[in-house]
A and B are shown apart, each in its own frame.
Chain A
Amino acid sequence: MSTGGAAAGREEGVDIAADDWVEQDLLTRGLAADRLAALEAETRAELTALRELPNPDGAAVDLLERRLRAIAASRETIVTASGPSR
């Protein structure tokens, strides 16, 4: 992110060391992958805890399994993406 100051007067070290593409704009593939990884870890932990119950709720287990499949589908599109055809 730029401080927006005039080029000549801009101080070294004032700008944040991250571009605004990452910080304030589109989700990048890297950021999206990080978020997916976090969601997958949360979902797997929930699923494990649920399955360890004496009588797991089948519908809840099914929902979490569906979520894991949705995470995999989203990751697949992100990992294999090479941009639109020209």
Chain B
Amino acid sequence: MPLQPWMKLISVDDHLIEHPRVWSDRLPAKFVESGPRIVDEPSPSGGAPIQVWYYQGKRFPAIGLNAVAGKRPEEYGIEPVRYADMIPGCYDPKARLVDMDLDGVYAAANFPSFPRFAGALFTAEGGDMELAHACVRAYNDFVIDEWCATDPARFIPLVVLPWWDVELCVAELERTIAKGAKGISFPENMVPLGLPSLYTDHWEPLISAAEEAGLPLCMHFGSSGSPPATAPEAPYAVTISMYGTNLMSATAHLLFSPVFHRHPNLKVALAEGGIGWVPYLLERIDGTWERHRWYQNVVKDVRPSELFRKHIYGCFIDDTFGIRNRHDIGIDNITWECDYPHSDSYWPHSRAYAAKVLADVPDDEVHKIVETNARRLFGLPGAGAA
């Protein structure tokens, strides 16, 4: 069995659901009413009251990730959406550890839910930006001081930043690094958020700070708030199927950009997008670079696929095609994800399923994929040499 009992599975993509007091416990008193808070509302279907977030007076019906995904606003709230319906591992880190033990998962990095995967809600909603800034800080304090502090060896802190102001981003990054942050949940694309792209100099101070501290930019698909919908009439299944293409776009955007040339030690982790597409896209990008780099503002002497292998990590749950083609992706570039507590995850069979998917992979490669690549990505002890 290539997945040996002594190998410690590290998931680079799990999710937490913020409990109702994450912000009210931490915001200054003047912001508690306008900051994120949970409100009980009568259920339209007559069942138990539903619970929704309110922020700056605006109602946000989904307390769980995408609990209303694929529905129009007028359909929101037709189902009972309550914390009591969730498994406690969603919002309680002690219960999460129990579930990780059962699942055979040693450690995990968790993305936020209510603030959106990269915390972009506080940027996108605008309004009172002093409050928004306090909300970003409160989330980071929660994730480091409360969630990850439950077991610092097993929870890997990902922080979010006040994207609307790069100087504030740098300050918040430095503040959270001092508290133990290990990664930045970074939007897969800034442009849909109304912010400058990675082709500008705008983000240089932040990326320099991340590079210097060795923190990866963790880009979860959907974190730009721009889902790959094909038509208003198309079922949401189309969008779900295509979400990984957002990370294909992010990869091409990064590899032709100045980012990796300016930041030779920067690491980027692509979350929940699978890996099977990587060989095709790198072949396509390299071919484009071969033919078309001469007349464009593209670095001429480094192949994009070399940059990928040096800087970018992908992850998978059940991408058997990607595992078969792992050498064309790069053994050192593949990590594993669990996606708990989403129903896409194989919990409580995640370890057994990983063993099945990796059954034909040599032990040393499995060890890199499930554990040591993630250790290297997040700067955790025991990474060994790449």
Contact = CB atoms under 8 A, between A and B. Distances in A.
A21 B64 contact: yes
Contact of A3 (B65, B67, B68, B233): B233
A55 B330 CA distance: 44
B178 to A, nearest CB: 28
Interface in B43-76: 64-72, 74-75
A8 to B, nearest CB: 11
A73 B71 CA distance: 36
Of A23, A26, A86, most buried by chain B (CB within 10 Å of CB) is A26
Given A24-B240, A25-B342, A29-B87, A84 B69 contact: no
Interface stretch (B98-106, B216-224, B248-256): B98-106
Which bracket fits the contact residues of A? 35 or more
A74 interface: yes
B21 A82 contact: no
A72 B92 CA distance: 17
A41 interface: no
Nearest to B233: A5
A44 to B, nearest CB: 15
Dominant secondary structure at the B interface: loop
B101 A70 contact: yes
B197 to A, nearest CB: 29
A35 B347 contact: yes
A22 B349 CA distance: 18
A26 B71 contact: no
Interface string A6-44: 110000000000011111111111011001100100000
A7 B87 CA distance: 32
Interface in A47-81: 67, 70-71, 73-74, 77-78, 81
B349 A35 contact: yes
Interface string B169-197: 00000000000000000000000000000
B91 interface: yes
A71 B66 CA distance: 28
B310 interface: no
Interface stretch (B77-85, B122-130, B136-144, B269-277): B77-85
Given A2-B72, A6-B233, A28-B86, 10 more contacts: A4-B233, A20-B69, A20-B71, A20-B236, A21-B85, A27-B343, A28-B87, A29-B87, A39-B102, A70-B102
26 contacts: A1-B236, A2-B70, A3-B235, A7-B72, A19-B79, A20-B68, A21-B67, A22-B343, A24-B69, A24-B236, A24-B240, A25-B66, A26-B341, A26-B343, A27-B341, A27-B342, A27-B345, A32-B347, A36-B348, A70-B98, A74-B102, A77-B87, A77-B99, A78-B87, A81-B86, A83-B82
